[in-house]
Amino acid sequence: MRDFAWGIAATGGIARTVGAAIVAEPGMRVAAVGSRDLGRAQELAATLGAESAYGSYEQLCADPAVDAVYVATPHAQHLQVAEAAIAAGKAVLCEKPLAATVDDAEKMVRLAREAGVFLMEAMWMRFNPLIQKIAADERFGDIRSVHATFGFAKPYNPEHRLWAPELGGGALLDLGIYPFGLAQLLLGMPSDLRITGSLAPNGVDAEAAGVLLYPDGRRALVETSLLGNYPNQASVVGTRMRADIQAPFWAPQRILLSGPAMEPEEHVLDPADNGYAGELREVRAATAEGRTESSVMPLDESLAMMGLLAAARRQLA
C-alpha cells in the first residue's frame, strides 16, 4: 500500500512543524508544498523530501499525487485554500480556528458536506492522549469547573498576523480557542458567558477573560492575552476527582489526577505520540473508511466554537 500523501499549504512555523510530524509518521509523506512565494515552497519541499512545489494554492490542490491538504495559512486565507481543495476532492485538515469569521466557517462546512469531502479543524489538543484520558475518565464524577489560561506578551505590531485584523488577528482566535475549547470538550456549550478585556489601537482583541456559565452552576474560567505572560496551565474539578494539567495545557506532557479517595496519579505522555500525530492519523483513517467528518473534532463543534468566540469578542466592543 502506498504512503498517504499530503500537500501543505503555506510555509510558516506551523507548516514546518506539522510537515515534520507527517514525515515522522509511518505510512505518510509530504508530496507537495504550495505557497504564494514559489521560492519558499521549494525550500520547504526540499526540507521535507516533497517532490513538488507550487507558487499557488490552487496548483497544490490540483496535484493528483496529493490525498489530503493541510491548510496552514493565516486564518483569513483558510476559506480560499479549503474551497480549492474541496473542489479538487481532497480531504482537508484546516489549522485552527476553522476560519477567520463565522460566515467563512459556515461556507467551508457547507461546501465540504455538499461535495462529500472530509473536512476537519486541526485542534490538536483533542488528539493529545492525556487530554483524551481526562475527557473519558468517569472517576471525575460531575465536572463542576474548568479553569484554563493562555497568554503571552507580544509587542503590538499591526502588521504582524497576531495583531492584523485583515489576517484574523487577536488573542481570542489564536490563543483563546484553547481555553474555550477545553471547556467545550469537557462541559459542552455554555448557556451564557460574561467576558471582559481590552482592544488594541486597531480594534483587535488584545485580551479577554471571563466565565462561561452552564446549568446547575457549572462554570469555566478562561483567560487569554497578548499583553502578559500567563501560567498556561489548566485544572479540571469534579465531584470525586480533579486534574491538574501542566503547561502548555493544550499539549500537555504531564497531568496529575488526585482526589480524597485515591492515591495521586501522575500520567506522562509518550514522546512518540502527540496531538499532531493523532489528527494526521484521523484524516488517513477517515479517508480510508469513506468518512467525511471526524467524531473526535466534529464540524458542528467547530462551528459552535466560532460562534462562541464571536460572542466573546462582541462583549469587548
**DSSP type of residue 174:** I
Predicted confidence at residue 2, as pLDDT, reads 85
Which residues lie across from 256 on neighbouring strands?
244, 266
**DSSP type of residue 271:** T
Give the cell for residue 60.
497544490
Q: For a pLDDT cut of 70, what percent of the chain falls above it?
A: 99
How crowded is the C-beta side of 124, counted as CA atoms within 13 Å? 17
Predicted confidence at residue 273, as pLDDT, reads 76
| Gap between the Cα atoms of 66 and 47, Å rounded | 18
| Gap between the Cα atoms of 39 and 93, Å rounded | 24
End-to-end CA distance of the chain: 54
Strands across the sheet containing 262-268: 192-199, 205-213, 219-225, 143-151, 234-238, 242-245, 254-259, 262-268
Residue in the structure block whose three cell numbers are 494526521: 280
Higher pLDDT among residues 29 and 215, named by residue? 29
In 100-139, beta strands by DSSP E: 119-122
What pLDDT, in 10s, does the model give residues 13-67?
A: 999 999 999 999 999 999 999 999 999 999 999 999 999 999 999 999 999 999 9
In the chain, beta strands by DSSP E: 4-9, 28-34, 52-54, 68-71, 91-95, 119-122, 143-151, 192-199, 205-213, 219-225, 234-238, 242-245, 254-259, 262-268
Backbone angles phi, psi at 142, to 5 degrees: -95, 115
Predicted confidence at residue 272, as pLDDT, reads 67
What pLDDT, in 10s, does the model give residues 104-131?
A: 999 999 999 999 999 999 999 999 999 9
Number of Cβ within a 10 Å radius of residue 173: 24
What pLDDT, in 10s, does the model give residues 225-281?
A: 999 999 999 999 999 999 999 999 999 999 999 999 899 999 999 876 778 999 999
What pLDDT, in 10s, does the model give residues 137-148?
A: 999 999 999 999
Angle, CA of 182, 278 and 298, to the nearest 5° = 55
Give the cell for residue 212.
462561561
Strands across the sheet containing 52-54: 52-54, 28-34, 4-9, 68-71, 91-95, 119-122
Predicted confidence at residue 33, as pLDDT, reads 98
Using DSSP's 3-state secondary structure scheme, residue 144 falls into strand
| Gap between the Cα atoms of 215 and 194, Å rounded | 15
Give the cell for residue 95.
489549522
Predicted confidence at residue 1, as pLDDT, reads 67
